[in-house]
Amino acid sequence: MASIKRNALAPSVDEAVLAAFRKLATPAISDNLDRMPGIVGLRPFHQTGKLVGTALTVQVRAGDNLAIHQALNEARPGDVIVVDGGGDVSRALVGDIMKAIAESKGAAGYVIDGAIRDAVAFMTSDFPCYARAVTHRGPYKVGPGVINGPVCVGGWTVNPGDVVVGDEDGVVTFPPSIAPSLIEAVRAQEARETEVLKMIREGRYDGRYGKPPA
């Protein structure tokens, strides 16, 4: 069995910050992160539910979930298990058992650059899970892996302790240090877009109200 490298847990994001982002949409957050690429290629497998939490990152060998099992031992309430599986979809990295373990630990959800199985367990649940694909094939459990190091998920670098926000449009992540200014900017944009939509409904929109939303 190959070794799993562990780094120290990053601090949990302040609950007040997480509460603010539960009310904000990922497209507006993305717009105010300079519309950088962000996480792409993953889709939600859960029924409903907003994903907001602190990134607990895991890097695994393609098709191997030993490091995820060990990361779950360290998971705290509000942690999002963010897994760099290299985009490999030949074997599932989590299924209904690991979903149950994560829920029992109070984790906020999964973001997996790889595949899952037992899809019905996720699709009939409000426990957030974003992944690339579904397959019936199970994982290896021999390692190696890294817990709480920088990972690449869907073409985007996620660092331990990042804020993770997911909804029907996808997943964005960013360092907690920029959260206060980002909240302010997103709220301002959403207020502008609400006004534009109102003007459209009332027949008053002439295309000159700033930049119309995409």
Note down pLDDT in tens along the chain; length 214 residues: 789 999 999 999 999 999 999 999 999 999 999 887 789 999 999 998 899 999 999 999 999 999 999 999 999 999 999 999 999 999 999 999 999 999 999 999 999 999 999 999 999 999 999 999 999 999 999 999 999 999 999 999 999 999 999 999 999 999 999 999 999 999 999 999 999 999 999 998 887 655 544 5
84, β-bridge pairs:
59, 113
CATH architecture of 4-175: 3-Layer(bba) Sandwich (3.50)
Q: What is the pTM of this model?
A: 0.93
Question: Which pLDDT does position 49 carry in this prediction?
Answer: 86
pLDDT in tens, 46-69: 998 899 999 999 999 999 999 999
Distance, in Å, from the CA atom of 198 to the CA atom of 122, rounded to the nearest integer, reads 37
Nearest 5 degrees, angle CA 85-CA 87-CA 90? 85
Domain-wise residue ranges, the chain = 4-175
Question: Which pLDDT does position 206 carry in this prediction?
Answer: 84
